[in-house]
Structure 1
C-alpha cells in the first residue's frame, strides 16, 4: 500500500472501487454515520436515553441530507443504507460486530456482517474496525487472522477493505504510548490485505509521516476530538501524505440534542461550513 502517485488505482488491485469513495481530487472525504451503540452513547452523554432505532435513522437521514452533497462517500451501517444512501457519493459499510470479547487482558473483535451483505446492498467497500495492540501477541495474531479473512471475503466480492485499527489500554495499564502504537499498527497491518487504513492522529507531523511511509491512510475523527483540533490534525495529516479523512461526531455531534427544526438549522449553519472547511484542507494536496 505504500507509494503515492496520481492514479487511485495505484492504491491496490481494488483501486477502481476505491475511486467510488474519493472526490475529483482523489481525496477521501467521507462522512461517518455507521454509529450504532456509539450514537446511543452520544445521546446518553447529553441526557437523552431510550433512543429508538427509528429516531437514530431519522437523525442520520437529516445529517446525510445536509452533508452528503459535499462528501465523497458515506460510511453507513446496513440498517441505514436505504434511508441515508447518498445520491452521488459512494457507500462504505462496516463488517464488525459492536464491542469486543476480552482475551488475556486485551480485546478481540468479531464480525457481524459479510462482504456479501455489503454487495447485496450496493455498497462500494467494506470497513472493518479492530482493536489492535501490536505489542500484545495473544490478541494481535487473532486480529490479524480476522483481518485476513475479512480482506479475502471483500476481495472475493470485488470490494476493497478499509481497515480501522484502534489502539487501547490493556487491562491494568495506567498509561500507554498512543502515538507509537498507532504507527506500530500501521506498520504491522500494511501487508494484511487491507486496501486503505483509517487511523487516529498519532500526535505529531513526524509520526504522521511514519504512517505515510508504512501505508496508505486516511485520518479518523473520533468523538473525543473537538472541531478545531480535528481540522488542525487534518492539516498536519494531509501535509504528511494522508489521503483524506473519514469522520463523524466532530462534524455532526452538536446536532444530537436539538429538535428537528433546530437540528436542520444547526446542520446547515454549522456542520455544512465545517465539512466544507475539511474538504478545503484536502483540496489539491492529494494528487501531486
Structure 2
C-alpha cells in the first residue's frame, strides 16, 4: 500500500507523536437518544439535550484523546467550537437508521452528507459503520459491498482516510435478535474474520479498520486460544487497525485491548466503555460532568497508558513496505504528479 499525501497527513493528525491512536467516539446516536427519550417520556429526544451531552464529552475528554469522532447531526454544530484544532477530527458518514430486511441489514449515508462535505469542512477522516454478515442474503451482501466500495472511491478522490467500522449482527432468524447497537450475543469468530477478510481487499480502499472483538468481550480471558483469533484478525486486516468497545464494560474492554495490542493493533476508537457509566446519571448534569472528569478520564488515561506500552505505531505497519508510511515522492516531482479533485 502507498499512502497519498493527504491521507498520510491526516493519519498523522489522528495519532500521537509515536503513531498511536487514542481516539474517543462521540458520534453515537441511538445509544444516547434512546435513554434521553425514555427518561423524558417522549418519542424523540430533544436535539438540545443530545447535543449538550456530546459537547460535554468533547469538553471533558479531548485533552486525553488524539482525535475525536463527531457526527454532523449534533456533535459538530454544538461542539466543534470547543474541539481543539490540534486534535484529529473524524466525521461520521453513515446514517444510524438502517433498513432491516429478512436477508440482512442495508446501510446508507446520512441525508445531504458526503465524503466531499467532510473533506471541505476540514475533516481528517471519514468514518463509516457497515453492518455485515458473510452469511446474509446474497443481494444484501452485494449491496453492502457496493456501498463500501463507493465510499472508498470517494475517499481516494478527495484524498481523505477511510476509517471503516465492521459489526456483525443477528439476522432475523437468529436468537437474541435486536436492533440495538450492542455486541451480538453468541457471535461467531468466523463471521468477524470472514468480514474483515472481505473488506481488506484493495477494491474497498479502507485505510484503517475499526474492529470489534472477534470473541464476546467477556471471553477475552488472556488465553492463547483467544489470542490466536485476535492474531488472525490482525493478519487479515492487512493495514492499521484499532479496537471499538461495542458497549463492553471497562474491565472487559481493557482485556480486549490487551489481546488486540498483542496482535498488532495501533490503538482504539472507543466511546461507551469510556463514558457510558457517567451518562447513566442523566439528567443530573453536574453528576455527569463529575463522573466524566474523574472515572471516565481515569479510564481513558489507563487504556492510553496500555496503548503506549503495547500498541503498534500505525506508520510502521508492514503494509507500507520497507519505507513504511513515508511521504512519497520525497523529491521535486511531487507537485507534478499530485492530482486535484477534478483530475
- Assess same fold via TM > 0.5: yes
Q: What is the SS of the residue equivalent to 1:158? A: coil
Distance (whole Å) between structure 2 residues aligned to residue 17 and residue 254 of structure 1: 31
**What is the aligned partner in structure 1 of residue 322 from structure 2?**
none
Once the two structures are superposed, what CA deviation does each residue of 1:78-112 show, in whole Å capped at 9, x if it has no partner? 13224323212111111111221133421111112
Contact 1:21–1:90 (Cα < 8 Å) also in 2:
yes
**What is the aligned partner in structure 2 of residue 132 from structure 1?**
132
**What is the aligned partner in structure 2 of residue 116 from structure 1?**
116
**What is the aligned partner in structure 2 of residue 249 from structure 1?**
272
Q: What is the SS of the residue equivalent to 2:159? A: coil
**What is the aligned partner in structure 1 of residue 320 from structure 2?**
none
Q: How does 1:248-287 map to 2 (within 5 A)?
A: 248-256=271-279, 257-258=281-282, 259-285=284-310, 286-287=312-313
Give the structure with higher Rg (CA): 2
**What is the aligned partner in structure 2 of residue 168 from structure 1?**
169
**What is the aligned partner in structure 1 of residue 260 from structure 2?**
237
Distance (whole Å) between structure 2 residues aligned to residue 22 and residue 211 of structure 1: 22
Distance (whole Å) between structure 2 residues aligned to residue 64 and residue 26 of structure 1: 22
TM-score, with structure 2 as normaliser: 0.76
Distance (whole Å) between structure 2 residues aligned to residue 271 and residue 64 of structure 1: 12
Distance (whole Å) between structure 2 residues aligned to residue 13 and residue 65 of structure 1: 28
Q: Which residue of 212, 216, 234 maps to 1:200?
A: 212
Q: How far is 1:43 from its partner?
A: 3.6
Distance (whole Å) between structure 1 residues aligned to residue 128 and residue 236 of structure 2: 19
Q: How far is 1:38 from its partner?
A: 2.6
Contact 1:81–1:121 (Cα < 8 Å) also in 2:
no
RMSD: 2.1
Distance (whole Å) between structure 1 residues aligned to residue 294 and residue 41 of structure 2: 26
Distance (whole Å) between structure 1 residues aligned to residue 134 and residue 261 of structure 2: 25
Aligned pair 1:83/2:105, yes or no? no
Q: What is the SS of the residue equivalent to 2:244? A: strand
Q: What is the SS of the residue equivalent to 1:170? A: coil
Once the two structures are superposed, what CA deviation does each residue of 1:212-259 show, in whole Å capped at 9, x if it has no partner? 101132111112x11111111111111111111111111111222242
Aligned pair 1:188/2:198, yes or no? yes
Distance (whole Å) between structure 1 residues aligned to residue 23 and residue 236 of structure 2: 22
Q: How does 1:30-69 map to 2 (within 5 A)?
A: 30-43=23-36, 47-50=39-42, 51-69=45-63
Moved over 4 A (4+): 9-13
Q: Which residue of 204, 211, 216 maps to 2:233?
A: 211
